[in-house]
Amino acid sequence: MPEGVPFEELSKHNTEGNAWISINRKVYDISNYVNRHPGGRIIMDQAGKEGTNVFNKYHSWVNADYILKDCYIGKLKLI
């Protein structure tokens, strides 16, 4: 998606097996990551959302780009 992922598209991916999240304006498909998330399934609370604030609150030292590099979809499109 060269022009970016619209928020409307991100918000559609909020279920088990079809979960996307945006962190720092980057959209990731976390569907296969959920079971590996060290904090458990709580990550699903942010599925389909812009989760930067929650990510930074609990994982400010974590490099999301590195951990989720295989899950990257594209940039979140700004309006």
Q: pLDDT, tens digit, for every residue of 1-33?
A: 457 999 999 999 999 999 999 999 999 999 999
Domain that holds residue 50: 7-75
Distance of alpha carbon 13 from alpha carbon 1, whole angstroms: 16
In a domain, 1, yes or no: no
In a domain, 49, yes or no: yes
In a domain, 2, yes or no: no
In a domain, 47, yes or no: yes
> What is the reported pTM?
0.92
In a domain, 62, yes or no: yes
> What does the DSSP assignment read for the chain?
-TT-B-HHHHHH-EETTEEEEEETTEEEE-TTTGGG-TTGGGGGGGTTEE-HHHHHHHHTTS-HHHHTGGGEEEEBPP-
Amino acid at 36: R
Instruction: Tell me how many domains the chain contains.
Output: 1
